[in-house]
Each structure stands twice: as structure tokens, then as C-alpha cells.
Amino acid sequence: MFANREEAGRKLGEKLARFKTENPCVLALPRGGLPVALEIAIRLQAPLDLVIVRKLGAPWQPELAIGAVVDGDPPQLVLNREIVAQLGISQARIEEEKQRQIEEIRRRRETYLAGRPRVDVAGRTAIIVDDGIATGATIKAAILAIRALKPKRIVLAVPVAPTETVAALKHEADEVVCLEAHDDFTAISPYYRDFRQLEDEEMHTLLARAPVPPRAGGAPGTK
């Protein structure tokens, strides 16, 4: 059990220290992934950014995911084409739902980051971080979308996850670093003593402590 997300991040940071010389960047899945990712970014002195994933629901069954849109420039669409074909969902309906979720991604990025520059992941070791994994669907969408941005490699870093999910994600990421993989996994929260939800103000406070991507002419990892 981890005391909190910060402790989990520090422990992951120790495991990831070997990537410090590989021009890494750290990409957190909000909200819970941010405190974990911040500790890693500080340890590696790597720029930190968010990767926001929004599920695409079926038109008549919103809880059924037909894919996801992932924050990026441009946003990346990841579809479960088998489900789309089975349900006969038109391209027009997909595009409508995609645009709706892109607007929500933009709103959240502005709320959380308020003009903070994006990290350019091309040619870098991109370390994707969350506070744990349940099914792995969100993480898989994030990996596929980040892969399209042409990083040097993708490393998935999480404190805890189901054993079978870790095994499956090793086929998606170039490397998976997981501190604890469990066969009897049911949920993330039992592995933390403090697993409270982060508020928007805490997100701003955490991001203010993080290394940022350089603007034109800046040095990597400087504020």
C-alpha cells in the first residue's frame, strides 16, 4: 500500500531515473495521475504535460465506448472499429461525437493549464503516467495517440495494476514500469491510504511546481 500518490511517484521516479539522459517528457492522465507524474518529472528534471482522454460513447448507449479522443495538436481519434461496424455507426455520428469531446478537452486543458505550452514529444522518451490501471482502455488510447506524435519510445509508468492488464499493455508501450501487479486486483483505491479526489485548485498548484516545456529559444526543462 502507498501512503499517497506522491509516495508512489517518488518510488516510480527511482525506477525511471535511468531515462534521465534520454530527453524524457512526462505525460500525466488527470486528475489522479498528476501527483504521481509530478514527482517523476522533478526527479528526471523533465517537462510535464497532461494527456486528456475522452471516451466516445455510442449514440444510443453513451456508456458503451466506441473509441476515444486524446488531447494533442491535433487531437487524436482512436476507434474500436469492430464495435463501430457491429453497431453500424455512421462517420457523421462519429464526427459529431468527436467534435463534442474535443471541445470538452479544450475546456479542460484551459482550466487546468491556462496557457501553459504543450510538450513536443517527437523524438523524446515519452513517459505516460497514471495512479493505477483498471481495464487499461484509457491508457491504451493514450498510448496509441502519443505514438502518432512520433516519440523515440513510450514508457508506461504506474504504481499498481492487474497482472493481465500489464501483460497486455506491454504490446502497446515500448516498456511498462509497474511497481505492483496483482492477480486479484479489483480497484485502485485499496492500494492507497490517501486516495482522495483532486480539486481544480490543487491541479494548478501541482502544475506550478513542474518543469515546463521551453518556449522558442528556451532550454529543455527550464521554467
Q: What is the pLDDT of residues 48-74, one digit of tens each?
A: 999 999 988 888 887 788 888 998 878
Q: Please answer whether residues 27 and 128 qualify as being in contact, where contact means their C-beta atoms are separated by less than 8 angstroms.
A: yes
Rounded mean pLDDT of the chain?
A: 89
Confidence at residue 222, expressed as pLDDT on a 0 to 100 scale = 35
Express as a percent the part of the chain with pLDDT over 70: 95
Q: Rounded to a whole number, what is the distance in angstroms from the first to the last CA of the chain?
A: 34
Radius of gyration of the chain (CA): 17
Residues forming a β-bridge with 126: 25, 154
Supply the DSSP string of 20-89, one letter for each residue.
Answer: GGG-EEEEEPTTTHHHHHHHHHHHHT--EEE--EEEEEETTEEEEEEEEEE-SSS-EEEE-HHHHHHHT-
Confidence at residue 79, expressed as pLDDT on a 0 to 100 scale = 86
210 has pLDDT over 90: no
Q: In which residue are the cell numbers 504543450 written?
A: 118
Q: Please answer whether residues 37 and 47 qualify as being in contact, where contact means their C-beta atoms are separated by less than 8 angstroms.
A: no
Confidence at residue 213, expressed as pLDDT on a 0 to 100 scale = 62
Q: What is the pLDDT of residues 161-206, one digit of tens each?
A: 999 999 999 999 999 999 999 999 999 999 999 999 998 888 888 9
95 has pLDDT over 70: yes
Tell how far CA 117 is from the center of its chain: 17
Per-residue pLDDT band at 214 (split at 50, 70, 90): low
Q: What is the pLDDT of residues 141-151, one digit of tens each?
A: 899 889 989 99
218 has pLDDT over 60: no
